[in-house]
């Protein structure tokens, strides 16, 4: 298995993770978003070259008031750089095998690398449902109490420390 940046040659028609919005986005919008520099999508390929997982990253900013309290302490009042993990999915037939964990680690490492180039301090995610929220919570993403949108954050340096690397 390997991860590659999404390209025209990848076959996506059979991708099914059980959440139609994630399946449709990959097939109908991921390449166009890449061409328009709105996001970058990376696909996890099995040994037969079939896409069995993917994630999409984009850059953004967050005001300290929108962060969990302890994350915002001492930060300036302008937007702080962040990487948004905009989409994340594993096919139904590969769920429960640890591939989600492995792909999330890959996404965190790539986001951290981007953060060194463009000064991002956080990784954010908008969980699509409670199962996704529980998944991200297991990896120390924190939600803001009272945030109806449910966005979750982790500091990039905390994520790297949890993975055992800081470079």
pLDDT tens for residues 24-34? 999 999 999 99
Q: How many domains does the chain have?
A: 1
Active-site position among 54, 55, 71, 136: 136
Q: What is the CATH number of the domain that holds 111?
A: 3.40.630.30
Query: Catalytic annotation on 136?
Result: yes
Tell me the residue range of the domain where 97 lies.
Answer: 2-163
pTM metric for this prediction: 0.89
- Better pLDDT: 167 or 57: 57
Query: What proportion of the chain, given as a percentage, has pLDDT over 90?
Result: 58
What is residue 103's predicted lDDT score, i.e. its pLDDT? 95
Query: What proportion of the chain, given as a percentage, has pLDDT over 70?
Result: 96
Q: Check if the beta carbon of residue 105 is closer than 8 Å to that of residue 82.
A: no
Write the pLDDT tens digit of every residue in 78-107.
888 899 999 999 999 999 999 999 999 999
């Amino acid at each position: 298995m390997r991860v590659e940046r999404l390209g025209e040659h990848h076959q996506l028609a059979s991708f099914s993770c059980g959440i139609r919005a994630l399946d449709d986005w990959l097939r109908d919008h991921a390449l166009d978003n890449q061409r328009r520099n709105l996001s970058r999508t990376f696909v996890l390929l099995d040994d037969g070259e079939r896409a069995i997982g993917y994630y999409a990253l984009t850059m953004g900013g967050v005001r300290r008031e929108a962060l969990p309290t302890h994350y915002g302490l001492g930060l300036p009042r302008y937007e702080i750089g962040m990487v948004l993990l905009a989409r994340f999915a594993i096919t139904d037939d590969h769920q429960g095998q640890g591939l989600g964990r492995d792909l999330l680690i890959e996404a965190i490492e790539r986001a951290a690398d981007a953060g060194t180039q463009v000064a991002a301090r956080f990784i954010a995610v908008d969980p699509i449902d409670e199962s996704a929220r529980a998944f991200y919570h297991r990896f120390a993403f924190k939600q803001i109490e009272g945030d109806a949108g449910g966005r979750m954050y982790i500091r990039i340096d905390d994520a790297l420390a949890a993975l055992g690397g800081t470079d």
